Structure 1
Amino acid sequence: MEVRHLRYIVATARNGSFSAAAHELNVKQPIVSKRIKELESELGVVLFDRSTAGARLTPTGEEFVVAARRILEEAERLGEHMRASAAGKLGRVVVGFYKSLSTGGFRTALRGFRRCYPKIEVELVESPFVELSAGVLSGTLDTAIILGDAGKCDTLETVALWSDQLVVALPENHPLAEKPVIYWPELKRERFIITHHDPGPDIRAVLLRHLAAPSDHPEIITRRLSRESLLSEVADGQGIALQCESAVGLSGLGVVFRPLHDGNGATRLGYIACWKPDNINPVLKTFLDALKP
């Protein structure tokens, strides 16, 4: 018994004749008659009463057609499921990210993706960079969203996503707090606090790129603190901190945030997605395409 045999029987029952069923299914009438007769012989039952007026279901045939319709509907649903899965519109994708990305551009993009693809499950894993890259390489993560430029990970494929404006977190009574915009030269004698956790190492690299000189090196203190605890240290006058603009929404911490500019305008940090070149999950492409600017 094959699925096509069930289609022949259901079509014949619906049309009341073998010839009409053959026309509907675009096959020759003798094929429909022969296959149904073969199935009747195989099962040892009579499904249709045949006459010059057409073909009418027997009581056994009526029972059979109810089950056949159910099987065909399930087969169609299975086919749709498989086609959607192959097209990357159904399935599961595991995405790693920094804790600092729990708000801001990533969260906005994720919310939009889930709205557009409700049948795709997005499993989130929050980890530091070392664990994220290891997870992608081992296959436990489909992709990781990290700070950096395309090409940052030599062994992984990468694509540039969005960027965040960099802001300075200052104590409310800091002299620079009165300025609407802060420029890099104004920060030369400041003490910076960064987190040991990601994206702390990326922030350190930015500080050194903009402020380090042969005879001058910024004072950078590393602490094992969450973003909120680090900002509390800033409020207590222990230093200042660089943050992505998503931190601006944090309130009640005793700090102010000011945009950071250089001679070309706002200083921005770019985010990338990285993934293993041989990842075959079709949902991954759908996810990355949705996140691309």
Structure 2
Amino acid sequence: MELRHLRYILASARNGSFSAAGHELNVRQPIVSKRIKEVEDELGGIALFDRSTSGARLTPTGEEFLVSARRIIEDVERLTERAKASAAGKVGRLLVGFYKSLSAGAFRAALHDFREQYPDIEVELVEVPFTELMAGLQSDRIDLAVILGDAGKCKDFASVTLWAERLVVALPECHPLVDRPLIYWPELKSERFLISHHDPGPDIRHILLRHLAAPSDHPEILARHLSRESILSEVADRQGIALQCESAMGLTSLGVVFRPVHDGHGATRLGYIACWKPENTNPVVKTFVDAIKPRG
């Protein structure tokens, strides 16, 4: 017994005749009649239809058989649709790694929109340092990572440029620069900066050294094994100032003031990329990348 046999039975029951079923399925009536007879013979000669010149009607046994046959067809159709959706990257599971500093802002907005658009894709998040993200990608434990940097940062992986956030400086409420709507780099040249050993602390250090590298700058950079929130608490306690991603501006209850940092060209921005292993065969990766990358 094959699926086509069940389809012939359903069509015959629906139409009330073998000839009408054949017309619906685009096959000749004798073929429908033959296939249904094959099923009846396989069942030990049990009649599923009462045949007459006016058509074909289900027997009581046929009525019961039809219920199971319809369920089987519907299950197979659902299975087929899900397999096609999975191959198209519309169903499945994706494991995304990211920095803690990305727990708000553009990443969260993009993730929310993706989940709304693809409710059948389960997105599991992993919050780990950069080195663990790269190791996870290489070992296929992570499908995709969202990190600070440009497209050339992860040379062993495929990558795409995502969004950019403004860089802001966190100041204690009593700092003399809090009255400024924005702050220029030269105004920070003699400050003490607090950064985290955790990511994106190393990226922040590179940014500081790039913008405050003149001999007269003398920035003091102190690295601490602290979370972003703890760094900001230290800023509030006047132990220094800190550079943060724009998403940190939502943390308004920590006794600090955030101001954007500018250079001669405007606001200083931090770029983000998504990277993944080119050999990754999970079709959901492409769906996710296509959904979150900026539209050109």
The two structures share one fold, judged by TM-score above 0.5: yes
Distance 2:33 2:3 in 1: 16
Equivalent positions of 1:97-176 (< 5 A) are 97-176=98-177
What is the one-letter code of the residue matched to 2:18? Answer: F
Offset at residue 131 of structure 1 (A): 0.5
Name the residue aligned to 2:273. 272
Distance 1:12 1:153 in 2: 61
RMSD: 1.2
Offset at residue 260 of structure 1 (A): 0.3
Shift >4 Å, 4+ stretches: 214-217
1:12-66 CA deviation, whole Å, 9 max, x = no partner? 1111111100111112222211111112112212211222222121222111111
Distance 1:86 1:181 in 2: 49
Distance 2:182 2:261 in 1: 6
Residues 190 and 217 in structure 2, CA contact (< 8 A), matched pair in contact too: no
Name the residue aligned to 1:5. 5
Distance 1:49 1:254 in 2: 84
Offset at residue 215 of structure 1 (A): 6.6
Distance 2:11 2:40 in 1: 16
1:70-126 CA deviation, whole Å, 9 max, x = no partner? 111111111121122122111111111111111111111111111111111110111
Between Structure 1 and Structure 2, how many residues are aligned? 293
Name the residue aligned to 1:21. 21
Name the residue aligned to 2:50. 49
Residues 145 and 275 in structure 2, CA contact (< 8 A), matched pair in contact too: yes
Distance 2:64 2:256 in 1: 75
TM-score (norm 1): 0.97
**Which one is further off, 66-75 or 267-276?**
66-75
In structure 2, the gaps of 5 or more residues are none
Name the residue aligned to 1:284. 285
Offset at residue 214 of structure 1 (A): 5.5
What is the one-letter code of the residue matched to 2:8? Answer: Y
Distance 1:158 1:268 in 2: 19
Name the residue aligned to 2:227. 226
In structure 1, the gaps of 5 or more residues are none
Residues 184 and 263 in structure 2, CA contact (< 8 A), matched pair in contact too: yes
Offset at residue 209 of structure 1 (A): 0.9
Offset at residue 201 of structure 1 (A): 0.5
What is the one-letter code of the residue matched to 1:36? Answer: I
Distance 1:56 1:114 in 2: 48
Name the residue aligned to 2:35. 35
1:208 aligns with 2:243: no
Offset at residue 252 of structure 1 (A): 2.4
1:246 aligns with 2:241: no
Amino-acid identity (%): 75
Distance 1:277 1:214 in 2: 43
Residues 190 and 218 in structure 2, CA contact (< 8 A), matched pair in contact too: no
Offset at residue 286 of structure 1 (A): 1.2
TM-score (norm 2): 0.96
